[in-house]
């Protein structure tokens, strides 16, 4: 046994992952160098600094407010859904809510405008009923908050509901037999269970809102409501003021790095398994029941109406005309190719990183020594780069690289888009795949080692059958993220190189509402199809976990 | 007297099973009920505590029909194997919540909580966080709460199964003492016959959805 | 993996070139302009038809979401830009465009020009002009404000839509308009106007679209905009509000991009810009005044339009020296 070398044994699963991890860090380093080191200019007007401060303050403010509102509404809705187990369509509503993760931002924005805009459904209804309209509240800060809450409250619901489901049934029986009021029950039973997950959930939502781009771009309305990401975009696209863009990107990088460090300290306490539940035969007190039904009903309508609006408006679009447009056909093609490519790359990179990582986390593989903590840190960090480098900063970095190296801008645009999309999907993919891969290793390591099963044979026997469902989910996730992304493309998009979201943004901007509605519907349909179909294909006909 | 007369319940989750329970227990009496897991022990206690509604039959306490009452209005306190306490509250507050859910206690009530702490062997533990107590201590707190609630019927759902042998024996003795001192009618379900032989005045086994006297 | 990337990129790029491949091998003149100019109802389709009859070439209008956006697009694309001509800049941004060094002399004869200012510029050539004004719906708004001062004092729920001075020439024009009228007090005036701004759009067509949808009471546009509604829609309810401070003049220009591979063709187009054929298309498609006096003259709808008694204009060099500072001042005043 003295000649046994773990590195030789696990090399095949270790080196590719390390190479990918190192490559990702190099990429980050290059981008960072583009933004921090290369421009040797330090003299910037005080007015610009004052502006950056003011933008930073607003970005933090809207992110904090969005987080607070999202968590608040998410908690209220999770609480209501948990207690109203017989709400009609409850199951469908829950799965729809958790699918907002992949819903293209602009599609939701378009739906929100149709429903809540100045001439939207809500105002039409209010005017018909009371002769009074709510006006144009969807512009500016309110608009940003509404859209952020739309996405993040529904994101929060799933996690919070899961927490509530994991509370032992005995606690609720206890609350019942003590005669606790719903408020006391919330304080004593439900809140302690939710509390553990809130810091990490809040920090994720805060980070998402802090780096929000498409929503602020479309609903912010005026420079008064700029976030750093939008300010970077405007500095490049409006002013062509690269120095200003760099300054903004630097501020963005600094805050993101700080947030990521803080957030990494906030791990969610481990979650328990959800328990089977039967609804209480005594039901909820009248007041609480009204509140729960009210909240659920309100959220269901507020959540579904924009999607319905996209569907209704989209069906009126002239698809023959749309498909006759060369720009549209090209955008569709580009989007599909990019989404497929980023799906493939995401899976390849996630697998490489996952295989390498489990060598360190699964006992009986590579034993700890002086270098293992460094390497496992590198592997872990390379998967979460996106959180530290938001896509607009990434785009700006590539843009600067493109200016240094001659070559068609569109070539760099493709690379930048692929990188941004893969990096965006990676943290989610790793969160899903790594635990599953560790589980298969724990389960089959001894068997495989003793029988000498390795390489492809091991993949076929001991990995693929157990990972395929998760891989399908990851593939669909990466595809949909890429398909709906409006970030880097906003910097690089042009008539020759467009994606569907970019085209949608253009059509929205020029008030070709019919075309916009048509594209939005196509995006929505593609997303739903892929998200429903791909995991099933991977799972081989069996019901996929979603 | 607690009386169950042909109290039936149809279980429809998974395979369907019909339970029909008949028994009675006098005040101050300890009844032990044993049965395999899945034999319906928890269903029986859930019916008495009010978490399930029977399909037919009667359930009375001193000839008063209990079935229309919600759990909090029944003369019953139930103790589970675990999850009886609010971990983030102190032991004292966990007991006090049995008297007043808003935790506002009169001087007399506070004294009652102290007394219950003493009677369950928890002197000096009052200020400790429930989550920091050992399994045996936690069950003592739960028992103390059952005492302050003044409900004549005490239901024990495998209350000591998670405890080690010695702790378990002392806990069983404590239940025996309490039943006498506080005049409680105790129904204890357990999968261990020895628990019954240790303290029970009468003993039933549960199989095929029915109670059989031993 | 790099091989896969390269393959993929080649594949994607190839697919673009296939999609882009033009059937004929006629030379292509690529003109970057703002979206409204190239819209189906804008001047571009007719101009394309007219010029293609004479040039044995294909004219390709490519749109940016705003006029300054078209300039930024050329800057972004650098040497690899396809643009031969940028059309739609104005006197206020022309100096900034000149400073980029991306433009070369147009070589056209400027004698025919008839714009309300003296013009002698061998890089940029005017093709139309108009005056900035706020347009309102006279059926909904009975008493429009007659000055910035009056606008500033209107109740808070009175809403206007304006354009971003960083991306759109009307937006920049408005900043300069207020600057010229109020001098150093411009920032104070903006602070009072700010609460009335519903939103700041990137380009003119976003703003005008919002206004027509009824989202705002007034929109920043041109004194000549009502002509569109009069002539094309036979509708006289849209009017430009005369402001007592005077109105700021906008002269729109075009320039030839240095990296053009069709310099002769581009110069021919610049000459074409001053032809009667081009200039007669402008009033009823771009809804502005033509830059020359044509034989046909102005259409009837233009005759009843408000012509400002007082014209405001800050010379291009002063604008360029102060543009950033004034825009920053505007940004701060409206809340940044």
Mention every residue, 6+ apart, whose C-beta is less than 8 A from residue B37.
B191
Chain A residues within 8 A of B13 when measuring between CB atoms: 278
Closest CA to A473 of A373, A546, A398, A366: A546
* The pair of three-digit structure tokens given for residue C67, joined into one six-digit string: 């006029």
* Same domain, residue pair B124 and B39: no
* Same domain, residue pair B8 and B65: yes
Do residues A482 and A421 touch, judged by C-beta distance below 8 A?
yes
- Contact check, Cβ <8 Å, A409/C78: yes
pLDDT of residue A8: 62
* Same domain, residue pair B64 and B118: no
Strand C197-201 and strand C160-163: pairing? parallel
Q: What is the distance, to the nearest Å, from the Cα of residue A532 to the centroid of all Cα atoms in its chain?
A: 18
Chain A residues within 8 A of B101 when measuring between CB atoms: 178-181, 184
Nearest-Å Rg of the Cα atoms of chain A is 25
Last residue of a domain, one of B101, B129, B150: B150
Residue B63 lies in a domain: yes
Which helix (H) or strand (E) segment is C190 a member of?
A: helix C186-193
Integer Cα distance of C255 and C258 in angstroms: 9
Residue ranges of alpha helices (H) inside C62-102 are 67-77, 91-99
Chain C residues within 8 A of A496 when measuring between CB atoms: 16, 20
* Same domain, residue pair B58 and B92: no
Interface of B with A (CB under 8 A): 13, 46, 49-53, 70-74, 76-78, 80, 82-84, 86-89, 97-98, 101-102
Q: What is the distance, to the nearest Å, from the Cα of residue A544 to the centroid of all Cα atoms in its chain?
A: 21
pLDDT of residue B11: 80
Q: What is the distance, to the nearest Å, from the Cα of residue A402 to the centroid of all Cα atoms in its chain?
A: 27
In chain A, domain spans: 1-42+318-546, 65-315
- Contact check, Cβ <8 Å, B72/A171: no
Integer Cα distance of C188 and C181 in angstroms: 12
Last residue of a domain, one of B150, B169, B184: B150
Inform me whether the C-beta atom of residue A184 falls under 8 Å from chain B C-beta atoms.
Answer: yes
Using CB atoms, which residue from C75, C214, C328 is nearest to A240? C75
Q: Which of B11, B70, B96 to mutate to test the interface with A (most CBs of A within 10 A)?
A: B70
Nearest CA in chain A to B94: A188
Using CB atoms, which residue from A168, A184, A282 is nearest to B70? A282
Residue B127 lies in a domain: yes
Mean per-residue pLDDT pooled into runs of 10, chain A (546 residues): 55 79 83 67 58 89 96 96 90 86 90 85 87 78 93 91 89 89 92 88 90 88 84 84 84 84 66 64 85 94 92 90 88 94 94 87 76 79 76 83 73 88 89 88 83 83 88 93 89 82 82 82 93 83 44
Chain A residues within 8 A of B50 when measuring between CB atoms: 176-177, 282
* Same domain, residue pair B46 and B101: no
Integer Cα distance of A401 and A12 in angstroms: 33
Residue B170 lies in a domain: yes
- Contact check, Cβ <8 Å, A178/B98: yes
DSSP C258-289: TT-S-HHHHHHHHHHHTSHHHHHHSTTTT-SE
CA distance C215 to chain A (A): 6
CA distance A379 to chain B (A): 37
Mention every residue, 6+ apart, whose C-beta is less than 8 A from residue A456.
none
Inform me whether the C-beta atom of residue A135 falls under 8 Å from chain B C-beta atoms.
Answer: no
N-terminal to C-terminal alpha carbon distance within chain C: 45
Residue B80 lies in a domain: no
Helices and strands counted in chain A (H then E): 25, 0
Last residue of a domain, one of B129, B150, B171: B150
Nearest CA in chain A to B69: A282
CA distance C109 to chain A (A): 32
Residues 274-333 of chain A with CB under 8 A from chain B are: 278, 280-282
Enclosing domain of residue B209: 1-75+151-214
Let me know if the fold of A1-42+318-546 is the same as that of A65-315. Answer: yes
- Contact check, Cβ <8 Å, A226/C13: no
Residue B176 lies in a domain: yes
* Same domain, residue pair B179 and B136: no
* Same domain, residue pair B168 and B69: yes
Using CB atoms, which residue from A170, A180, A281 is nearest to B80? A170
pLDDT of residue A3: 43
Integer Cα distance of B56 and B68 in angstroms: 12
CA distance A172 to chain B (A): 10
* Same domain, residue pair B37 and B139: no
Strand C125-137 and strand C247-257: pairing? antiparallel
* The pair of three-digit structure tokens given for residue A289, joined into one six-digit string: 């029941």
- Contact check, Cβ <8 Å, A222/C199: yes
CA distance A460 to chain B (A): 35
Using CB atoms, which residue from C16, C76, C331 is nearest to A496? C16
Q: What value, to the nearest 5°, has the Cα angle with vertex A330 and ends A324 and A336?
A: 120
The fold of A1-42+318-546 is MetI-like fold (1.10.3720)
Per residue in B11-54, pLDDT (tens digit) is: 876 667 889 999 989 888 999 999 887 788 888 999 999 888 89
DSSP A435-478: HHHHHHHHHHHHHHHHHT--HHHHIIIIIHHHHHHHHHHHHHHH
Identify the three-state secondary structure at position B72. helix
Q: Do chains B and C touch (3 or more CB pairs under 8 A)?
A: no
Q: Which of C5, C8, C172 to mutate to test the interface with A (most CBs of A within 10 A)?
A: C8
* Same domain, residue pair B108 and B165: no
Chain C residues within 8 A of A119 when measuring between CB atoms: 213-215
Do residues B170 and B199 touch, judged by C-beta distance below 8 A?
no
Number of C-beta neighbours around residue A324 at 10 A: 10
pLDDT in tens, chain C (336 residues): 445 555 555 555 555 444 444 445 789 999 999 888 988 788 999 999 999 999 889 999 988 877 888 898 888 877 778 899 999 999 989 999 999 899 999 989 888 899 998 888 999 999 999 999 999 999 999 999 999 999 999 998 899 999 999 888 899 999 999 999 999 999 999 999 998 998 888 888 888 888 887 878 999 999 999 998 998 888 889 999 999 999 999 999 999 999 999 999 999 999 999 999 999 999 999 999 999 998 888 888 888 888 998 999 999 899 989 988 899 889 888 875
Residue ranges and CATH numbers for the domains of chain C are 23-129+250-302 (3.40.190.10), 131-248+307-333 (3.40.190.10)
- Second-level CATH architecture of A65-315: Orthogonal Bundle (1.10)
Integer Cα distance of A178 and B98 in angstroms: 6
Using CB atoms, which residue from A177, A181, A278 is nearest to B49? A177
Residue B212 lies in a domain: yes
Nearest CA in chain A to B101: A180
* Same domain, residue pair B66 and B1: yes
Integer Cα distance of C208 and A510 in angstroms: 10
Do residues B114 and B125 touch, judged by C-beta distance below 8 A?
no
Using CB atoms, which residue from A179, A188, A281 is nearest to B86? A188
- Contact check, Cβ <8 Å, B101/A189: no
Residue A256 vs residues A478, B91, B177: alpha-carbon distances, Å: 22, 43, 63
Using CB atoms, which residue from B73, B78, B83 is nearest to A168? B83
* Same domain, residue pair B125 and B186: no
- Contact check, Cβ <8 Å, C328/A51: yes
């Amino acid at each position: 046994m003295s000649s046994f070398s773990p590195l030789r044994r696990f090399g095949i699963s270790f080196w590719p992952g390390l190479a990918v991890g190192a490559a990702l860090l190099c990429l980050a380093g290059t981008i960072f160098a583009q933004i921090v080191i290369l421009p040797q200019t330090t003299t910037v007007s005080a007015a610009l600094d004052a502006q950056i401060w003011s933008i930073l303050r607003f970005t933090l403010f809207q992110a904090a407010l969005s987080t607070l509102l999202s968590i608040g509404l998410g908690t209220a809705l999770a609480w209501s859904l948990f207690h109203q187990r017989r709400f009609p369509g409850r199951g469908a509503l829950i799965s729809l809510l958790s699918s907002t993760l992949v819903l293209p931002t602009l599609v939701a924005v378009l739906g929100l405008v149709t429903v809540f805009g100045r001439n939207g459904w809500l105002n039409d209804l209010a005017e018909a009923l009371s002769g009074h309209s709510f006006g144009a509240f969807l512009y500016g800060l309110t608009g940003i908050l509404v859209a952020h809450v739309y996405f993040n409250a529904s994101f929060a619901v799933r996690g919070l509901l899961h927490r509530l489901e994991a509370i032992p049934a005995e606690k609720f029986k206890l609350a019942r037999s003590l005669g606790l009021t719903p408020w006391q029950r919330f304080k004593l039973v439900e809140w302690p269970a939710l509390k553990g997950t809130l810091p990490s959930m809040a920090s994720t939502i805060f980070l998402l809102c802090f780096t929000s781009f498409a929503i602020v771009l479309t609903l912010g309305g005026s420079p008064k409501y700029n976030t750093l990401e939008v300010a970077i975009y405007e500095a490049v696209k409006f002013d062509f003021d690269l120095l200003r863009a760099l300054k903004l990107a630097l501020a963005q990088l600094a805050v993101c790095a700080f947030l990521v460090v803080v957030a990494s300290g906030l791990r969610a306490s481990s979650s328990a398994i959800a328990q089977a539940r039967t609804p209480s035969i005594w039901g909820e007190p009248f007041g609480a029941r009204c509140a729960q039904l009210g909240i659920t009903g309100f959220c269901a309508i507020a959540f579904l109406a924009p999607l319905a609006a996209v569907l209704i408006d989209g069906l009126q679009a002239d698809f023959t005309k749309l498909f006759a447009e060369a720009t549209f056909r090209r955008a569709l093609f580009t989007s599909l190719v990019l989404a497929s490519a980023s799906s493939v790359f995401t899976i390849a990179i996630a697998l490489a990183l996952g295989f390498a990582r489990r060598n360190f986390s699964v006992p009986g593989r590579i034993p700890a020594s002086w270098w293992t903590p460094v390497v496992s840190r590198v592997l872990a960090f390379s998967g979460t780069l996106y959180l530290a480098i938001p896509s607009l900063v990434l785009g700006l970095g590539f843009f600067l690289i493109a200016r240094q190296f001659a070559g068609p801008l569109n070539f760099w645009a493709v690379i930048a888009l692929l990188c941004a999309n893969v990096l965006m999907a990676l943290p989610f993919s790793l969160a899903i795949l790594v635990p599953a891969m560790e589980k298969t290793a724990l389960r089959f390591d001894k068997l495989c080692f003793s029988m000498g099963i390795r390489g492809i044979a091991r993949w076929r026997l001991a990995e693929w059958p157990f990972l395929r469902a998760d891989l399908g989910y990851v593939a669909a996730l990466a595809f949909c993220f890429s398909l709906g992304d409006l970030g880097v493309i906003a910097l690089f998009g042009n008539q020759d190189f467009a994606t569907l979201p970019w085209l949608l943004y253009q059509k929205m901007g020029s008030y070709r509402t019919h075309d916009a509605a048509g594209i939005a519907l196509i995006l929505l349909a593609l997303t739903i199809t892929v998200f429903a179909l791909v995991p099933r294909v991977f799972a081989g006909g069996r019901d996929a976990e979603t | 007297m607690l009386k169950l007369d042909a109290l039936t319940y149809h279980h429809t989750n998974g395979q369907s099973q019909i339970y029909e329970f008949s028994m009675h227990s006098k005040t101050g009496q300890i009844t032990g009920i044993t049965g395999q897991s899945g034999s319906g022990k928890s269903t029986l206690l859930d019916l008495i505590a009010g978490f399930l509604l029977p399909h037919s039959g009667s359930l009375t306490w001193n000839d008063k029909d209990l079935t229309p009452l919600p759990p909090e209005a029944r003369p019953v306190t139930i103790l589970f194997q675990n999850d009886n306490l609010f971990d983030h509250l102190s032991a004292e507050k966990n007991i006090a919540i049995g008297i007043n859910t808003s935790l506002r206690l009169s001087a007399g009530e506070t004294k009652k909580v102290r007394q219950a702490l003493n009677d369950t062997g928890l002197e000096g533990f009052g200020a400790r966080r429930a989550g920091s107590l050992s399994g045996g201590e936690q069950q003592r707190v739960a028992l103390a709460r059952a005492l302050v609630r003044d409900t004549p019927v005490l239901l024990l759902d495998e209350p000591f199964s998670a405890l080690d042998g010695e702790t378990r024996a002392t806990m069983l003795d404590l239940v025996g003492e309490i039943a006498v001192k506080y005049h409680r009618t105790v129904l204890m379900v357990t999968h261990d016959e020895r628990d019954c032989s240790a303290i029970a005045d009468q003993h039933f086994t549960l199989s095929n959805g029915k109670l059989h006297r031993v | 993996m790099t091989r896969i990337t390269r393959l993929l990129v080649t594949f994607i790029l190839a697919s673009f070139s296939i999609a882009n491949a033009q059937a004929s091998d006629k030379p292509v003149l690529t003109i970057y302009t703002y979206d409204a100019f190239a819209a189906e109802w804008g001047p571009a389709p007719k101009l394309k038809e007219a010029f293609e009859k004479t040039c044995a070439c294909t004219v390709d209008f490519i749109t940016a979401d705003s006029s300054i956006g078209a300039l930024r697009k050329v800057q972004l694309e650098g040497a690899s830009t396809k643009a031969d001509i940028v059309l739609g800049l104005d006197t206020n941004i022309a100096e900034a465009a000149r400073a980029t060094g991306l433009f070369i002399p147009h070589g056209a004869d400027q004698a025919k020009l008839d714009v309300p200012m003296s013009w002698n510029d061998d890089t940029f050539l005017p093709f139309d002009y108009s005056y900035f004004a706020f347009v309102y719906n006279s059926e909904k708004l009975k008493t429009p404000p007659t000055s910035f001062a009056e606008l500033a004092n209107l109740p808070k729920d009175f809403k206007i839509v304006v354009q971003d001075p960083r991306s759109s020439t009307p937006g920049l024009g408005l900043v300069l308009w207020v600057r010229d009228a109020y001098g150093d007090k411009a920032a104070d005036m903006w602070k009072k106007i700010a609460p009335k701004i519903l939103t700041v759009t990137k380009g003119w067509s976003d703003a005008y679209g919002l206004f027509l949808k009824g989202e705002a009471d007034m929109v920043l546009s041109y004194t000549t905009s009502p002509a569109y509604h009069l002539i094309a829609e036979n509708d006289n309810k849209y009017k430009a509000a005369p402001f007592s401070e005077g109105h700021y003049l906008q002269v729109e220009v075009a320039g030839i991009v240095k990296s053009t591979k069709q310099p002769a063709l581009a110069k021919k187009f610049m000459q074409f810009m001053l032809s009667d054929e081009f200039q007669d298309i402008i009033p009823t498609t771009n809804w502005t005044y033509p830059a020359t006096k044509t034989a046909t003259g102005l259409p009837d709808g233009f005759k009843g339009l408000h012509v400002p008694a007082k014209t405001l204009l800050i010379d291009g060099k002063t604008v360029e020296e102060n543009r950033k500072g004034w825009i920053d001042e505007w940004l701060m005043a409206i809340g940044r």
